[in-house]
């Protein structure tokens, strides 16, 4: 079983790459955003709990988020592994994920971060904003703030996984195929 945490600032190409890698390595892609939307739409107990915080403009507590993700892992018992996308975001979440995976006899094998310069990210997101319909992709000030939030949150996690020799930075600039090849080099090495 191979478990990866895929990281990168907004616009780095995480969604595109996760989609390719999950097929290539037969892994289950768990996107925190998708899991939230699914649980809220289907009014699951966890979804209703999360929605009560979101409706008040509050962050969903770690416990609720972690329980949702644990449920996704449970649903996919016997999988070859997982790509966690958008989680963990804090050291407490990383610890909780580690504890949970250990209880399943496995671990996070690597945090792979797509590294892209800010100006390229802004360009990509403004371009995506023309077709995505997402208001947060259309406003440069909002985009720059999202990028800053990412750096402030992830610096902690980068250190957390570096201490365990599990952090891999990958150049996220180039064609989709070139970036996939770079990510695959890291994953192939991990799977040896």
- Consult the annotation and say whether 43 binds a ligand: no
Catalytic residues: 14, 89, 128, 134, 146
Closest of 185, 150, 161 to residue 21, by C-alpha: 185
82 labelled as ligand-binding?
no
Q: Is 12 annotated as a binding residue?
A: yes
Query: Is 2 assigned a ligand-binding role in the annotation?
Result: no
**DSSP conformation letters of 60-92:** PPHHHHHHHHHHHHHHTTT-SEEEEES---SHH
Say whether 89 counts as a known binding-site residue: yes
- Show the tokens assigned to 34: 């998708």
Helices H / strands E in the chain, number of each: 8, 5
In sequence order, the β-bridge partners of residue 170 are: 114
Q: What is the CA radius of gyration of the chain?
A: 16
Residue 93, marked binder: yes
128 labelled as ligand-binding? yes
Binding residues for ATP: 11-16, 128, 174
Binding residues: 11-16, 32, 37, 58-60, 86-89, 93, 128, 134, 146, 174
Binding residues for AMP: 32, 37, 58-60, 86-89, 93, 134, 146
């Amino acid at each position: 079983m191979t478990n990866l945490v895929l990281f990168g600032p907004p616009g780095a190409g995480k969604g595109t790459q996760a989609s390719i890698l999950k097929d290539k390595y037969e892994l289950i892609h768990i996107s925190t955003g998708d899991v939230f939307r699914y649980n809220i739409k289907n009014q699951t107990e966890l979804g209703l709990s999360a929605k009560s915080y979101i409706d008040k403009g509050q962050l969903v507590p770690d416990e609720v988020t972690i329980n949702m993700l644990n449920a996704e892992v449970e649903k996919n018992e016997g999988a070859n592994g997982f790509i966690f996308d958008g989680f963990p975001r804090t050291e407490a979440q990383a610890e909780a994920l580690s504890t949970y995976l250990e209880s399943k006899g496995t671990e996070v094998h690597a945090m792979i971060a797509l590294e892209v310069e800010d100006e390229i990210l802004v360009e990509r997101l403004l371009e995506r904003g023309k077709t995505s319909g997402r208001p947060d992709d259309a406003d440069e000030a909002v985009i720059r703030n999202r990028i800053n939030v990412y750096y402030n949150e992830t610096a902690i996690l980068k250190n957390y996984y570096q201490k365990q020799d599990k952090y891999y930075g990958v150049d996220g600039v180039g064609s989709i195929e070139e970036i996939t090849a770079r990510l695959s080099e890291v994953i192939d090495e991990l799977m040896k």
